[in-house]
Each structure stands twice: as structure tokens, then as C-alpha cells.
Amino acid sequence: MSDANLIVRETKVRAVNAPLKRPLRNAMGVIPSAPLVLIDVITEQGITGRAYLFAYTLAALAPLARLVEEIGREIKGQPVAPVERQRDLDRRFRLLGWPGLVGMAVSGLDMAFWDALGQAAGWPVAKLLGGAPRAVPAYDSYGVVDPRADERTLRQSVDSGFRAIKIKLGDADIARDVATAKAVRELIGPDIALMVDYNQSLDPAEAGRRIAAIAPYDIHWVEEPVRADDLEGHARVRAESPVRIQTGENWWFPRGMADAIAAGASDYVMPDVMKIGGITGWLRAAALAEAASLPMSSHIFIETSAHLLPVTPTAHWLEYLDLAGDILDEPCPLADGRVTARGPGLGIAWDEKAVERFKL
């Protein structure tokens, strides 16, 4: 089937609260479950493009779902052409601005468009973008850990083939951060990369103090040590840090990434496909990363990220944090610490019984 023939007939939206295998605790609190918006862009030709969004909190779930529904009504009858639809939506929402729920909704629809195009062509999205699915190295992403209570789980991550693990820090007591980093390093050994995420919880001065304290434990990167929108603060921390700085999950669309690169905010970049503008935005962001020689990792959304990193020139790590596995017909496969994209499209299909069970 020619992808040029795809016309949007309707957009189906459902809100679910999916369980997490490991509730995620960070410096800001606890994420006990995954509030997800499921998007089905149904075409006149019978092909359905699918994607999901992560609302972070139940309070944002219903408003986000309603916004996707409203935009879905506006695009009814239009061709499934991601670049054209994003250009139209940019004009539609320019006065309001894209950061926040609007940007998330636009990005989710963009992912569903690309999924539909891949299905129409009978190809995985990675191939549609000019690449091919390949095994992408992933790191196992944890929240705040207790090295003693979580020892078995951390060892299982290493034994299953992960070559990198990320933990979250930001306790009120710097000594506890140091003790945790030291214990986890001893537990996983010297050959496993150890990343640390502060989730924007520090000011630049405190960030510098804490990074210096944990640096002896061979930290691969320190992620978002200060507020994500404090580009100057990130640059200050980076200039003094003995550990490489990672940020990017809260950049809104490629322009936000360009501003961060210009500020020298980080050594690594990790855009979130839901905030960077979907697949269309990711491709533009990947070009910025290549031009700046910045290694580029993904943030959550393992199913889509597995298609995007193979066509990212400076591809680094895929974050393995399974938000949607319990509502997917076939969760994204993991083998020896690597994830390989499936197709056609993004390889996403809902487990309708599970969706019904967790639907709100």
C-alpha cells in the first residue's frame, strides 16, 4: 500500500494507569505506577498507527487525553504526513506555546503517524528512516536504591547482561549519597557503567559539592544535577565537574536543545521523544547532536527509542525503563542487555484485556 494514500479517519484515545514492576522513587517523590495515554490514529485505509504518552502524574492524565482527542478531531480527513501535520500544529499552537501538555500531545500523534507509515510500507520505522533494526545497548534504570535491600535485583541486572545501571540520588544527607554510590559500585563491580540522576534537586553549588564526593566511584555521568531550565547553572556545574554531565529529557523540541548546546550545558544529551517533537523532532535533534559531537541517549519510551537510536549518528545508550510492558501484546524484547526494534511500524500492539483492566 502506498503511504501517500493514508488519510486520518479518527483518533481513538484511552487513559490507563499501568503497573510498574519497580515503583520509581526519586528526589522529588515516588512514581508508583505509569499513567499512560494510548493513541490509535485510525486511517480510512484500515491501518492504525499507535503510540503512547507518559503523563507522569494521574492529575495530568485526563487533561492530556482530552487534548489529544481534541487535536485528533482537528486532523480528521488530513493525510498521514508527519512533517506537514507538525508544521500545521506549530501554527495552531504558536501563541499558546509548545512546552507542556501541548508538546506531549503533538509528539504522541507524530509517533502514531510514523507507526502508520511503517505499517503501510511493511517496514520497521528504523528502516523507513533509512537505517535498520539492530541491537542497541541499554542501561537498566532504577530509582533511589537501598544497596542492601536491592542487592538481589541489582545483581540480576548485571547477570542478565546489562553493562550499565543508573540510580537516583539526592538525599538530604550527602553522606547517604556517597554511601549509596560506593555500595552500588562495589556490588556491580568495576566493569559496569554507573550513572547517577539527581532529578533537578540541587543548586549549582551543592551539585558541585556532591559530584566531587561521589566522583571516586567511577561515575559514568551525572544527570540533571540542577533545574532543567537552568542552562547557565548546568554549564557552571559542567565546567567544574570531574564527572561528565548529562541532561536533555526536559528539552522542548529541537529549539530547546539548540539553546542548551549553545549554553554548553552538558557533555551528553538525552532527549525525550515525547518532548522533543516525536520522531520528526528527534531526527532534527539528532542532527544537532552530530553537529556538536555530543553522544545522544534516549529517555524512556523503549519501543520507539529502539527504532531511533540506530539512525542517530552519535547514538550512545538506550534507557531501559519499561512503562508500557503490562499493556502491550508483546513487550519489547531484551536480550543480553540490548534492545532490538520490532516492526512493522513501531511494533506496538495493545493487550486489550490488560488495557481494559487498567483503563480509567
Asked if 129 and 306 touch (Cβ cutoff 8 Å), the reply is no
Could you say which of 220, 299, 307, 316 is catalytic? 299
Task: State the catalytic residue, choosing from 127, 168, 220, 234.
Answer: 168
Distant-in-sequence, close-in-space partners of 351: CB < 8 Å, separation ≥ 6: 326, 327, 328, 329
Task: Say whether 168 is catalytic.
Answer: yes
Name 141's bridge partners: 166
Quick one: which of 109, 101, 103 has its CA closest to 82?
109
299 included as an active-site residue: yes
Q: Is the torsion defined by CA of 251, 253, 254, 255 positive or negative?
A: negative
Closest CA relative to residue 140, chosen from 156, 161, 157: 157
Those residues with Cβ within 8 angstroms of residue 109's Cβ, 6 or more apart along the chain or in another chain: 11, 39, 41, 51, 68, 71, 72, 75, 85, 89, 278
Residues identified as active-site:
168, 299
